[in-house]
Structure 1
Amino acid sequence: MSSYFLPRDWQERFVRAYQTNLKKNFLLEACTAAGKTAGALHAFDSLKSVLDWRFLVVVVPAEHLMQQYAQDAFNLFGLNLFVTAQVGKSGIFP
């Protein structure tokens, strides 16, 4: 666990809920600036060794969010995310 991050109560409850209900999909919904990025990174950091996770895929809707997420991952948890913009490269996006 990161020494730079002190999780909020709801973030701890989120990680515990995810641990006890390991479904393929899990929705985390919170208002702007509630700490969704930190909460998701906290979940990954807390569970990566327990569940033998070796990588993390993050999908965000805009390039500036991609940079922000990568910076938060590094600042809070020391995670170096490989950042690449592939918008418009697949058949899904115009």
Structure 2
Amino acid sequence: MITLSSYAFVSMILFSIGAIGVIARRNIFVIYMSLELMLNGVNLFLVTFARYHFNIEPQIISIMVISIAAAEAAIFLSIVILLFRSKKSLDTDLFTSLSQGEKR
């Protein structure tokens, strides 16, 4: 039988994998996907405890977070396109200085 601790464990694993991806990777897309994985781990944790306590409010918050993340993804992709056009790479080491005067 699947218990509350099983869902909590899966959400902690998702969050941990996302945190490791943010720390270890340099590609901006992989970092973004890792951040989204962390966000989904937190959402799973919220929904799990909402279901356990028979409360709908955390589930509503999770739906709002998912919809905001969708809008954030559109903005993120447009910024990535602009950065790729200017630097011709998605390596985060190139984005340490975003001033227009300096070229690497």
Common fold: TM-score over 0.5: no
- Greater share of residues in helix: 2
User: Whose Rg is larger?
Assistant: 2
TM-score (norm 1): 0.28
